Amino acid sequence: MKLQVRNRAQFGWCLYDWANSAFATVILAAVLPVYFASLVPAEGATLFWSTQPIPATALWGYIVSLSMTLVAITAPGLGNLADRRGWRRRLLIIFCLLGSLATCGLFFAGPGRYLLAAALFILGNIGFAAGNIFYNAYLPDLASGAEADQLSARGFALGYIGGGLMLLVVFLMIQQHALLGLPDIAMATRLGFLLTGAWWLGFSLPVFAWLKDVPVALSTQQALRTPRDYLRTLADLRSYRDLSRFLIAFLLYNDGIQTIIAVSAIFARQELGLGTGTILGCFLMIQFVAMPGALLFSRLAGRSNTKRAVMVSLVLFTMITIYASVMKSAVEFWILGFAVAIVLGGSQALSRSLFSSMVPKQRSAEFFSFYAISSKFASIFGPLVFALLIDLSGSNRIAILALALFFVVGVILLIGVDVEKGRLQADNQ
């Protein structure tokens, strides 16, 4: 790949993080959870499978779990299809369109229409999560070794800036809705959803021009057609011992990370009684502090090693989770947010590059689909455990504290991963 074309492709790859991080901040993390809670009746939502009303926090956890289940079920076939048919770029475009248009559609989720909001969120989250399968799969083709660590960190850093700017726009719209001629906060919020979807799609257009399809490897031309093919692919993955062990560890600790991201805003609103302005202000701080945090952990990985840097972030996440279960004030929420911001970007960026370094290049999309299963199946259980514990105990704090177990077990498993051996095995394929 010529240097100019390669540099443009790398910038395009990072730009997609800038584009879709608007969904992560506005829809998944900060604004929609709080707005969704306002749509659900105070006594809870009455749904056909429950004999009693479901609190807004529990219902949000169930919705996040359902969307991740749908992605996890389809991820192996989608990733394999991208490798075997050469459709990586095409599928990225399709899921970007699905996610961004569903996000725009949230504009129509007015008062009391929490079921419409739930359905559109599920579609948007599918587009976001499935699109990342093919986005992540480009990493080993664009960089390797220490350069992959740096590129992955730059992608996350640019994503934090892009997501933070979009969140800032929505925050100002909500806080200054009267100056903008908007009748109320709800209308400003819904208009913010529309702009978020447009941001995602608009900034993705140059990405689709600069990222090219990767040629189909001769060994992967046969399509994945039957359950036996799925089992064979899974068996192949198990033959990569260190890669498989890392995936299991990642499934657990990423579960905790994604659940914290998904439920923290609604937890702050329902448990701490914080206002929309306070919550959004804290999330803005997280976005802009997370960028230097990602770069900081990238440097730590360069001076030490990637695996050790990830383990440091997980120990810190364990302490953060314990602290979250006992905090009571807005000041403590801001302290928690700052701590999360420091370790969030580093843990995610380095996990992605660590996995990338142990993946055979000719099967990158297929194996990144299993990476997506790890992250998306992980995202099923964390919110589900959170929701069930609220339903059973009535306590949001017990539900938050339980997330510490995901980090502890993840660290224990990660200790046994021999990264150099995993990289050598990938290079020999």
CATH number at residue 125: 1.20.1250.20
CA dihedral (47, 51, 56, 57) positive or negative: negative
d(CA 123, CA 127): 6
Tokens linked to 284: 């803005």
Q: Count CA atoms closer than 13 A to 154's CA, side-chain side.
A: 16
- Check residue 174 and give its pLDDT: 92
Q: What confidence tier does 374 reach under pLDDT thresholds 50, 70, 90?
A: low
Q: What is the largest CA-CA distance in the chain?
A: 63
State how far the Cα of 170 lies from the Cα of 173, in Å rounded to an integer. Answer: 5
Whether residue 152 is contained in a domain is answered as yes
- Whether residue 234 lies inside any domain: the answer is yes
Cα–Cα dist 14/230, whole Å: 31
pLDDT in tens, 63-117: 988 888 887 777 767 766 776 777 888 899 999 999 999 999 999 999 989 999 9
User: What pLDDT score was predicted for residue 70?
Assistant: 85
Q: What is the amino acid identity at position 212?
A: K
- Asked whether residue 95 is assigned to any structural domain, the reply reads yes
pLDDT digits (tens, 9 = 90+) for 279-324: 888 888 887 787 777 778 878 877 778 888 899 999 999 999 999 8
Has residue 400 been placed in a domain? Answer: yes
Q: Which residues contact 377 (CB under 8 A, 6 or more apart)?
A: 68, 69, 72, 251
| DSSP per-residue codes, 261-310 | HHHHHHHHHHTS---HHHHHHHHHHHHHHHHHHHHHHHHHHHHS-HHHHH
Q: What is the pLDDT of residue 227?
A: 43
- Count of domains forming the chain: 1
Would you state the pLDDT for residue 222?
A: 40
Supply the range of the domain harboring residue 82.
3-212+225-427
Is 218 a domain residue?
no
Has residue 389 been placed in a domain? yes
Tokens for 181?
């001629």
Residue partners of 207: CB distance under 8 A and separation at least 6: 12, 13, 15, 16, 19
- Which two three-digit tokens encode residue 405? 């177990």
Residue 192, in any domain of the structure? yes
- What pLDDT sits at residue 220? 43
Tell me whether residue 208 is in a domain: yes
Residue type, 315: V
